[in-house]
Structure 1
Amino acid sequence: MATFVRPAHPWPTEALWQALQAEWPGITVEVAAELDSTNETLLTRARAGDRSACLLVAEHQRQGRGRQGRRWISAPGDSLTFSVGVPYAPRQWAGLSLAVGVAVAEALAPEVQIKWPNDLWCAGRGPAGEGRKLGGILIETVGTAPSTRQAVVGIGLNVRSPDGGPAGWPDPRNRPAGLEELLPGIDAAEVLRRVAPAVVRALHEFEREGFAAFRARFEARDLLRGRTVQTTEPEAPEGVALGVDDEGALLVHTAAGVRTVAVGEVSVRPC
């Protein structure tokens, strides 16, 4: 059954739990008013031997983080932050963040696109029409058995565009987007109702079929395709993004030919 952990605002917890049972029987749903990090909470449980499936939501994260240790900062109510932890044994892990991104984007709006490897953007909402960041995905794992790991999929989405704090945003091109720009009146609970079942469904589909089941759908949401990009990959410092290969690695056409940029410690930004 659903577990209620002192949320400060009403959430459709029971209805969401019932919907998720159809996708992943036995999954629990927990909502906390405040946590250090939903990802870290589920990872800690996994390290202690907990192999159960769980959707964990925090209305506010004190130490939320993104890829490469970057902090995720937002005021309570301005964003949705949650993690899904499941015992997981896909044939290959490559492309999982893109598959999750596809599920989230399709559950929200046509304007939501995926910026390789794990960011969600609002297309055409920047000063020059280049788009602005809407959210991100962080996937971490813990070994729990010889052939199975506990996968923890963390997702953060801006419901309202952050104001940047007292200093604001010196460059408006860097101000993140909010879902209210695309879906007026939406709140974090409604975003969760739309997104969580889609993510759990995608995890099942990826485990069975891998990235092949998502490649064409990713191409329809690919923010970088056809754009000039810069990367931290020494063999592809700059070029034109050509999409991704069968395993979700970025293809970049450089002066030296087409280069593959694998998921990992790589940063890709539109020039």
Structure 2
Amino acid sequence: MSDLLAHVESVWQAVVPDLPGFTVEVLPSIDSTNTELMRRARAGAMDPVLLAAEQQTAGRGRLGKAWHSRAGQSLTFSLALPLAPADWSGLSLTVGVSLAESLHPDVRLKWPNDLWLHERKLGGILVETAGTGDSATARRTVVVGVGINIARPESAAVGALAGAPNALPPVAPAGLAEVLVGVTVGEALERVAPALVRDVQRFEREGFAPFAARFARRDALSGRAVRLSDGVEGMAEGVSRQGALQVLTPQGLREVTSAEVSVRPC
């Protein structure tokens, strides 16, 4: 039995009281857990499910980036839930807060969807939705994809991954085992999954506002000079109550909300 499979029952038992009908699936290999759950969602499936993979062959990240995934060396999973929040703004930040708090006190959040450990990238988040409702508050299936390095990948392998043409250079990688020696992929899943479900459910009820202060405590950019992928530079001043990055530039305060903008400390 694989390490992931050994922890599936514990994850299910911890989540199902808060999420009736919840299931957990583990596959030895798949192109992308997010891609698979989005396929199901577009076909009409709305049952809550967590899909984990021992290995992804075509893992996806934000802005078209690939995600480096090795069996036993990284945790890759996606969580699909039907949701109808009043406002979707800040969901990826909420996911980041939940993961960071479950993983380790040293984990920080780099807006909008990266987990950082000691100034290096530990993991990433990809949030996608599918549904047929016409109104902004219609119930849709949200698919939250998570990739977390357990062992530290080689920098050369990460740097070789394809990304968007205008994306900023990749950040050096980190691994959770650097601060949690001996942690396994299954143990990491058991640490993060139950809290993630609860926090996403709270987001549906209350939006990002209850998570804003928690994000601020983990904010890796606040008070630092930053450069956006469009060339603009300024000072990061936290996030708004809707989760927009606030950057003080020579032209004034700019709120960054576009999913097409990347940010790096200068």
After TM superposition, is the score higher than 0.5? yes
Deviation at 1:257, TM superposition (A): 1.4
Among 185, 188, 202, which residue is 2:199 paired with? 202
Deviation at 1:26, TM superposition (A): 1.0
Match of 2:147 in 1: 156
1:175 aligns with 2:175: no
| Structure 1: 5+ residue stretches without partners | 1-5, 126-130
Deviation at 1:91, TM superposition (A): 0.6
User: Structure 2 matches for 1:45-124, cutoff 5 A?
Assistant: 45-122=40-117
Deviation at 1:168, TM superposition (A): 8.7
Asked if the contact 2:131/2:139 (under 8 Å) is kept, the reply is yes
Deviation at 1:174, TM superposition (A): 4.1
Match of 1:21 in 2: 16
1:138 aligns with 2:138: no
TM-score by length of 1: 0.89
CA gap of 1:244–1:165, structure 2 versus 1, over 3 A, is closer
Asked if the contact 1:239/1:253 (under 8 Å) is kept, the reply is yes
| Structure 2: 5+ residue stretches without partners | 161-169
Match of 1:128 in 2: none
Asked if the contact 1:8/1:33 (under 8 Å) is kept, the reply is no
The RMSD of aligned alpha carbons is 1.9
Deviation at 1:11, TM superposition (A): 2.5
> Structure 2 CA distance, aligned partners of 1:46 and 1:258?
38
User: Structure 2 matches for 1:243-254, cutoff 5 A?
Assistant: 243-254=238-249
> Structure 2 CA distance, aligned partners of 1:8 and 1:37?
20
CA gap of 1:114–1:166, structure 2 versus 1, over 3 A, is closer
TM-score by length of 2: 0.91
Asked if the contact 1:102/1:221 (under 8 Å) is kept, the reply is yes
Letter matched to residue 216 of structure 2:
E
User: Percent identity over the alignment?
Assistant: 52
CA gap of 1:215–1:176, structure 2 versus 1, over 3 A, is same
> Structure 2 CA distance, aligned partners of 1:21 and 1:174?
36
